[in-house]
Amino acid sequence: MMGDIYALGVNFKTAPVEVRERIACSKDDLRKTLPYLKTASGVEEVCILSTCNRVEIYVSSPSEENVDLLTDLFLDLKGAREAKRHIFVKRGEEAVYHIFRVASSLDSMVVGEPQIVAQFKEAFQVAREVGTSGKILNRVFEKALRASKRVRTETGISRNAVSVSYAAVELAKKIFGDLRRAKVLLVGAGEMGELAANYLKKIGCTLYITNRTYERALRISQELGGSALRFEELEDYMPNMDIVIVSTGSPTYVIGKDMVNRVMRRRNYDPMFIIDISVPRNVDPEVGKIDEIFLYDIDDLKEVVEANLKDRLREAKKGEIILWDEVKKFMAWMESLKVEPLILDLKRRVQDLERENPQLRRIVFKAIREMKRNPEAANIIFRIFSEEVEDVHGGEGLSYVHNRADGA
């Protein structure tokens, strides 16, 4: 029996950052987790998309019970059973529509942000590498990217491109004022950090970059015209910084309360602005309680994002129409899969006759095309051929079969 498509998980709309970070998955996590979930739950195909704003699982399964089991197994692996109340579940057409919206960035915190396409591709690449994605999810992936491209080229959602990194810089401008007079430290040289650095360079601020791998910090600082600093000396030069943007892949806090207390004493408690756009968070939330520290995490960026997106939201409505068009096409393909066993059986029944009767090959082709186009009539078409075609000998019989197949 053919399964159905499911989309489930958490995102910035359904769960706070502390829940999302508990169940977030690195690429190495995915390589171990995906095969286990597929085998242990009994689903046919599974893929996990894990970003700073969402941890979502896309599944093809013949049974909803298998999907429920997969959810429990995943949360048990993460030691986060209590997160289940934040989990959303979508099925069938609704699930396909959701996946297409995610790939098109219409479901992003920052509508139109470009990072999701790369993240989406990477998630499915990992699933393919470990063998947990197959015919159904591969097709979902292919059509989701097609839908994403259409939305980006046929609407204005990518105008004046923004991202979470851009929102972080906008928040810094709003609170700190003219960033050209500010000393900005970027902690971490990952994708999000590089994007923030790009925006900061355009503004003209004084930029410093540190990373656990000094060579990477050096390379980015040379590209952006900033200065690279040694990660192990972070506390020594933090007192000279006005703004600190943290974006690393560390699973633990990089900046703690005791460290920032010492830094602020050396700054004579001049205000410092810290934006933590890492998931899991890399700055201890307790840091926000220190006098003259303004700490914001990724969820705090929502307000800034919303203020910058009125235009894009109008364009997103056009994108929704495009997505529904693509979803309907995909669901038609899913329906056509139901007749595949009939088609294969039909081909098997007539393969010897086709060699003897070239005209029959054309009739079979038409019948198969009609079965795919109109799955509801597939059984009727199949029955006519299974009853009549085996007895076909010569042109007169072929004509009779053709008329019957046409409904005459």
> Which of 406, 326, 408 lies closest to 374, judged by CA?
406
CA distance 332 to 326: 10
Structure-block tokens of residue 226: 């900033």
Looking only at the bridges linking them, the beta strands covering 243-246 and 183-187 are parallel
Is the Cβ–Cβ distance between 244 and 185 less than 8 Å? yes
Answer yes or no: are the C-beta atoms of 245 and 194 closer than 8 Å: no
Instruction: Tell how far CA 299 is from the center of its chain.
Output: 18
133 phi-psi bin (left φ>0, alpha ψ -120 to 50, beta other): beta
* Residue 367 to residue 372: CA distance in whole angstroms: 9
Active site residue 205: no
- Residue located via tokens 């990217």: 145
Is the backbone of residue 341 left (phi > 0), alpha (psi -120 to 50) or beta?
Answer: alpha
**Spatial separation of the C-alpha atoms in residues 305 and 21, rounded to whole Å:** 20
In angstroms, rounded to a whole number, what is the distance separating the alpha carbons of residues 56 and 45?
14
Contact criterion met (CB below 8 Å) for 319 and 153: no
Residue pair 319/104 in contact by the 8 Å Cβ criterion: yes
Helices in 155-238 by DSSP H: which ranges?
A: 164-176, 191-203, 214-224, 234-237
Q: For residues 19 and 78, what is the distance between their CA atoms, to the nearest angstrom?
A: 11
Distance CA 166, CA 323 (A): 26
Catalytic residue chosen out of the listed positions 25, 47, 52, 205: 52
Task: Show which residues are catalytic.
Answer: 52
